[in-house]
Amino acid sequence: MNAIIDQDDNQSPEYAIHTRKLNLWYGTFQALFDVDLSIRNGMITSLIGPSGCGKSTFLRSVNRINERLGYVRIEGDIDVLDNNIYDPAVELVQVRKQIGMVFQRPNPLPISIRDNILFGHRLHNKGSKADQDEIVESALKQVLLWDKVKDRLNHKGTELSLEEQQKLCIARLLPVKPSVLLMDEPCSALDPKGTAAVEELIWELRGEYTILIVTHNMAQARRASEECIFMLMGKVIEHQATEDLFVTPAQKETADYIEGRYG
Amino acid sequence: MFAESDLNARNKRVQGLFRMLFLMMTVLLIVPVAIILFTLVSKGGSVISIDFLFTNPTDGMTAGGIFPALLGTVWIVAVALLASVPLGVAAAIYLNEYAGDNWFTRLIQLAIINLAGVPSIVHALFGVGAFVIFFGFGTSILAASLTLAIMTLPIVIVSTRESLRAVPQAFREACWNMGATRWQTIRRIVLPNAISGILTGVILEVSRTAGETAPIMFTGAAFFLPFLPQGVFDQTMAMSLHLFVVATQVPGVPEELPFGVALVLIAMVLIMNSISIAFRMYLRGKKKW
């Protein structure tokens, strides 16, 4: 595993997400096998692999949204910023606050653009009305959406184009100051132009947030991530700097996959 | 090459036949409604007037108006709604938003389905036993309304659940992933988007409640009362029972009077239904997903 950029900030841990022997079952079907991953703080890491390889499952266990299904059983640990999120003392609301999630299909709420941005902020900051305009402006600026929507902040978020909706979905996570952003195929519902725009935005957010992005699109993984993880049948096959993984894969399965022999 | 074959022609004939059959069935459906409305208007239309709506019956109910019955129905419906809507909506929210899929939830669902299948006369007898006698409300608006409320509860629950279910799951996921609790999600996103459907269900329930006779005739509705109800512990006249009485129980009623009563009752129901449909269309037009 090669480090591309060494994090010289001593305050924050080297790894944002760290799993040990993570096993996950849906009922009797085992979806993850002994996953040991260390995902670097402040970097963009992509997860690739054929359908059903467990990449989305892994993503969804990092913010504990999987367990809502009821029939999911998990063994092993997931540490986020050195705290085990499966510890019984952990408050789920705090987990969700630290770890934002972006979905495949943009899901803005059917309220105004402004209220979409402030939704999370209002959940976590009781009664503080101050600075709301600033919060909205800075979040929308960060996702490169401000100039397009500043004159129609009262329009519904659901009226925007898909690309803008997805950016809005990313923007609304920012006011609660998460440290990790999980993205589950964030561009697969978008056209090529929208994809490029959202990728550009993800790249902009690099450094400030740890971003873990699941994608079916190998070219996207290559363009828009710094480290890349290849998964197959619920196991991690390879985890390398993106450039190395695509140029000199260490495992045969990885080479076969990136050359398009399956998946 | 592209000419019609014998088989094509035969298939077309059969297809035309079935189309005709389904069309006729649909037309048949409208016929009874049309006949009812036409009969009521032609036979009872002549008695309708402002006086008819707002005066008491006179001469042993063979003349005069229907005001006590009209007002009584409004009372009964209003109190029934006050009881059934909060209960039904709360139950629906629990079932749709909180409850997991387990034996307990399934048992509740079974109970709701069965409640919907209980004949109204059985509800009436239950109402007598429970509200009139056991709780000591006597034959009163309260007892009649609570009986009706229990009877219409399944409708409120089912229609509310359907409106809640129509709110896309993606909205809930978006909220949960920002750290919203279930209640915050329900309060801020789910209910505001389901309210049109819930209200529609409520209005439909009103129209059903207004027409029921059996559940109120032993529990709170009176044959004839010379005064108006002053509170929920009074008895009252009601439209549905009044119709039954003037149509079958009182000698010497002019023929057009029962038709007039029926016309007013059905007009109340149709107006409520139209409001409900118009309201739903208005709110649907405002939705954007």
Residue A113: Cβ-neighbour burial (10 angstroms; 0-12, 13-18, 19+): buried
Q: Do B177 and A101 count as a contact with CB atoms less than 8 A apart?
A: yes
Q: Which residues contact B49 (CB under 8 A, 6 or more apart)?
A: none
What 3-state DSSP class applies to A16?
Answer: strand
CATH class for the region spanning A15-109+180-258: alpha beta
| Residue A123, number of CB atoms within 10 A of its CB | 20
Domain assignments of chain A as residue spans, ordered by start: 15-109+180-258
Instruction: Specify whether the CB–CB gap between B209 and B195 falls below 8 A.
Output: no
In a mutagenesis test of the B interface, which of A119, A169, A173, A183 is the best target, namely the one with the most B β-carbons within 10 Å?
A: A119
Residue A147 near residue A193 (C-beta atoms within 8 A): no
Prediction ipTM score = 0.80
Residue B172: name the closest of A96, A34, A15 by CA.
Answer: A96
The rounded distance, in Å, linking the Cα atoms of A63 and A61 is: 5
Q: Which residues of A touch B (CB under 8 A)?
A: 63, 65, 68, 70, 92-97, 100-101, 103, 105, 107-111, 119-120, 123-124, 156, 158-159, 169, 172-173, 176
DSSP A112: B
Is A23 strand, coil or helix? Answer: strand
List chain B residues with pLDDT less than 50.
Answer: none
The number of CA neighbours under 13 Å toward the Cβ of B255 is 4
d(CA B168, CA A78): 30
Q: How far is B110 from chain A (nearest CA, A)?
A: 22
Does B230 reside within a domain? yes
CATH number of the structural domain spanning residue B133: 1.10.3720.10
3-class DSSP state for residue A28? Answer: coil
Q: Are the CB atoms for A23 and A185 separated by under 8 Å?
A: no
What was the pLDDT predicted at B82? 93
Instruction: Give me the pLDDT at residue A190, please.
Output: 87
Alpha-carbon gap: B173 to the closest alpha carbon of chain A (Å)? 9
pLDDT of residue A6: 44
Q: Which domain holds residue B168?
A: 67-284
The pLDDT score that the predictor gives to residue A228 is 94
Residue B185 is assigned to a structural domain of this protein: yes
Provide the pLDDT for residue B222: 84
Q: How many CA atoms lie within 13 A of B37 on its CB side?
A: 8
Angle at which helix A162-171 crosses helix A132-142, to 10 degrees, equals: 120
B289 contacts in chain A (CB < 8 Å): 110, 158
Tens digits of residue pLDDT in A24-47: 999 899 999 999 999 999 999 999
Q: Is A151 exposed, middle or buried (0-12, 13-18, 19+ CB in 10 A)?
A: exposed
Are the beta carbons of A107 and B174 separated by less than 8 Å?
yes
SS3 of A79, please?
strand
**Predicted pLDDT at A189:** 86
How many domains does chain B fold into?
Answer: 1
According to the model, what pLDDT value does residue B148 have? 93
Query: Is B95 part of any domain?
Result: yes
- Residue B16 within any structural domain of the chain: no
pLDDT in tens, B19-63: 999 999 999 999 998 999 999 999 999 988 888 888 888 888 888
**Cross-chain residue pair A97–B179, CB shorter than 8 Å:** yes
Q: What is the dihedral of CA B252, B254, B257, B258, to 10 degrees?
A: 60
Dist CA A92 CA A65 (whole Å): 10
Tens of pLDDT, residue by residue, chain A (263 residues): 444 444 444 456 888 999 999 999 998 999 999 999 999 999 999 999 988 889 999 999 998 888 877 788 999 999 999 889 998 888 888 899 899 999 999 999 999 999 999 999 888 887 667 788 899 999 999 888 999 998 999 999 988 999 999 999 999 999 988 999 999 999 988 888 889 989 999 998 988 999 999 998 888 999 889 999 999 999 999 999 999 999 988 999 899 988 887 76
Cβ(A185)–Cβ(A191) under 8 Å?
Answer: no
- The one-letter code for the residue type at A45 is T
| pLDDT given for residue B72 in this prediction | 92
